[in-house]
Structure 1
Amino acid sequence: MKKAIWILAGLAITLLCSQCKNNQSNSGENNKIILDSLRDECRKAVYTPGLLKIAKEMEREALKQKNDSMIGSAYSFMSGYYQKTGIETFDSVRLYAEKAKEYFIKGGQPNRALRLEASVVGWEIYMGKKEGNLVRIFDLIKKCEDLKDYKAIIDAYNLLGTIYIVLDNPKETLNTSQIALQYIRTMDDQDTKAQTNYYIKVFLRLTQAASSIKNYDLALTYSDSMKYYVNKRLIGDTSPVAKEWSIVYEEQRVSVLLKMNKVKEAFPFIQKLLLYRDNNLIGEKTPRYYQTLGTLSTYYLKIGEYSKALELIDEVIEYNKSSSSYDNLNIAKNKKADILAAKGKYKEAFQMKSDMLTFIEDVNMENASRQLSELYTIYNVDKLEKQSLEDKAKARYSLMVIIFMGIVCFLLIAITLTIRRNLRKLKKKNEKIVAQYQEMDKYRQQIKGLALIKEGESASSAKESTLFEKTEEYLLNTHCYKDPDISRESLAIQIGTNRQYLTQAIQDSVNMTFSEYINNYRLEYARLMLSENINIPIEKIYTSAGFVNKSTFYRLFKQKYDMTPKEFREISCMTTHTI
């Protein structure tokens, strides 16, 4: 009876344990389902104001489950939310991106951390923060190559292409996009969705670059390839992201066709862009919406409907002002100036170009100045043509003055930039010289200290000095290196050795030949004389240092100190007055 009871108890415990395991398994599966569901909701809400709320809910659930990967995804969505708001929120974007990267790495997904970094860099470029991002992209590419993460490498090259577009270097965009294309073709064929997305992005960059170098036929070919992959993406995918890629294609197609003056061929695509605009008039507007307005403004400029073109471009300008996207703001203002000029309002166009110059501090300054000068000339010519024949001579004179002033302004800008660049270089040299002086002072103090110690040492310890140390001591005490006729034989005799041992000791200690070693002492002596005795002629200094040939002295001095003796003396004088 007792045995039967024990058997029944064992069976009951076994069933209970089994049930507990099933419950734990079901609980784990339910938790995963909850997080997967929240992640899918975030993806659907990517372009909506509700994204932040869902992402925070996902963060709380992932923290509760201690799921590092999902915590990183939640922070990544938060960073993306602040990117999409169009507001200047660099700190928020960076904060959540860094948190996401921390959890991705903690969860064993360093590749996702790199991709997120690439995404943030791309956003900063779009917002006009180009400084340092080129270096960051090359650093990202190296890290991605070390991890052999082809997706991250492709993202990095796509961003590099974007930077080159912003820097108006379409040839480099073509090169980097071709490299990205090669990596895309090596991807696993099973990951077709990701591969399709990468094809769309790279053909977008290729279309933009080909259009920039005015190879419009090539741009249309790349555009056709982009259309193929956009249509492939739209199969079974009605998400906002997929639909926006379709709009991006329409915009690029219109842009190229308008540059080719093929307005009729562009019209069907224009209708689709107008429909997209009308459907998004109410509610949250994405950066893509304003990009579309810019394209439509170009179209209305082409067909001569200047009022519509101005209305649209003004809306784009206001958006770029509020989002602090200065590169896009300058592009929009430039387009508005073109519209005003086409409308005959040359004075307003000239004023807008003039205002733009205060924002432009890069290579585009020269082009903008040239366009400004052209608009100003057109304005004056248009005005003066309406005057009488007696005023024509005055008009020609005014035009010459304007051209002359333009040349003077250009020269002043060039001179100012050159002076600023030279001053920066000179400052760096001064800092380097000051640092060298400080190091040399420390070295001389150390030598003096050693000399005092040597004086107090016994004769027996002096005998233990190495041959090189004896040589150093002899040269420092006698300054015999200033003798232009000094030789290995004479120096060896003075310190009680032979030329072979002396040469070997120098080679082993400082890796120099005898001549290099002696010349090094002479150069140091000359350097000190140049800085401490500013009234002694350079010719007298180099001869007193032991040099016979002037050209040899100048060559060796330039080689050692990266400047001529004259430059060294001038900088030394300036540094003395500064310190």
Structure 2
Amino acid sequence: MKTKTFLSVFLWGYLVCLTMPALAHNPLQHQKDSLRRVIEQSEGIDKLRSYNRLYYLYMSEIADDRKMDTLLTLFDQAEAEAIKQGNAKMQGMVYGNIIISHINRNEYDKVIQKAPDYLDFYIKNEQWRLYNQIHMQLITAYNLKGDYKQAAEEAEKMFNSAKERNDKAGMATALYATAITYSIQKRWKEEEHCFRECISLLWEVSGYDNILTQSYAFLCSSLRAQAQYDEILQLVPEYEKAIARFEKATGRTQPEAWGNLYVALMDVYIDTKDYDKAGEYLTKLENIVSNNISQYELARAKALIYQSRGDYRKALAEIDSAAVEVQESGFDLNAVRKIKMEILCRMGRVDEAFVLMDEFIAANDTLKDVEINAKFDELRTQYEVEKHIAEKERNFHYFLFTLGICLILVLLLVGVFYYNRIITIKNRKLYEQIKEQDRLADKLFLLSHSSDTPTSSVHADVTPEATTGTCDAPVVSSEQYNLVERLQEYLLTGDNFLNADISRDEIISALGTNKNTLTEAVKSVTGKTPMKYMRAMKIEEARKMLDKHPELTIEAIAFSCGFNIPSTFYRLFRKQYGITPAEYQKMAKSQKK
């Protein structure tokens, strides 16, 4: 009977042990089942919120591939319901959680594949906060894949988009992403510059205090890498204000933010070998109830502080603990070995230190190869990024150069247009003056025919001063008028006008006079020498032909008026009338239209 009772108790105990894990999972499963029932029975926003709560439960289990498959199915269902209800806000939240789930599973290719479409959705619906967050995740995916060039391009695209809409939070987030890209490449100066700009913008906006405090932490890390310890200490008051603002906005303490500050200060004092100060911040770190500070960092700091105080036993225990916690890289493990060697030497355990030195040297050779390759990769990536930036700058300069040329051409065209307009106005005025002189000459001709003056047929080029009989001009006799009139008739008769080689002797012989008499008569009547008078007559006749015969070329008219060389005709015409033959002909044609 006792045996039976014992077996019964044992079996019940065994069954309880077997069912304990199931019982532990029952509350979570119960929540899932409950939410599924709510989804089936609810409508509208309640249904979408239930979907939201349900997929958050599964997001905590995404390490399990089967749970991830279920989660993706839930995302599809939630998306379809949000589209059905026309709820863009909930639809955007679904897309954001899809990207975060892939990031948490290190599925960077899927992030790169899906994020662009989601970003377009956020732009279309002006969901800029989600746009900034998911664009950050896309940049993170490129960084973790080692594609720093693409990460930099996306960050620049994000910054320009935010700048266009004057979104300081978006600009700050883009600068944060850019700084992280520089940090991975160990480009400390560029990282520092970006984080300082990011911090400056974030102080002007609200709702981004988490990123603000993280930016201070990263900035301290960058300054530490450049050994700018005084700069870090100067940042502390600002850093503390940022954490205080973060706590006020959230209504709760932020141990992780304080922990990052204390780590930064602890590292500063360890690097400057002020171990007492470092110990103070180490104590503050240990007093933070919930922090995510690296146990490796804490153990390493403790080892150095104990070593500085001569407590080598505790220092050795802590550095061994740090070696266990090393997960970052072989570089950290070798740093641990270096500290441990120094502690062993101070403890007099030289043989152990030598053994450790052999391990250090062997690992260091491998690490050098890795480091050199990493440097080459970094230089190659930096070259590609800087090449891309240089190409963009060159294209921008080309654009400015082309724009400048276009502006110059436009100015030249405007100048030519303005100049032509001025010339046209001037030519029109000259043409009108010439035509007015023609009208005056015609009136003078009519008046001369109605009087007894023997100048009826003298060419219109005769100046008024030559006929007034004032004390400044010689008195002109009727014989002189007749002689000039006969000269004019002779020139206009037959081909004499065309004869460019006609000599003065031929003219004198034809008129039956002598050189002195002809010269004196022409000069008295016209004020010109006979040759200049004849040349003026030819140009005058050419001008009349330009009026009467617009179909003729200027060269043909020049030849018909006795000018064998057109350029001479052009020069003399312009000198006489202040306008070229071509311009005069153009004006004459325009007046006839």
TM-score of the pair, normalised by structure 2: 0.45
Higher RCO, 1 vs 2 (CA within 8 Å, ≥6 residues apart): 1
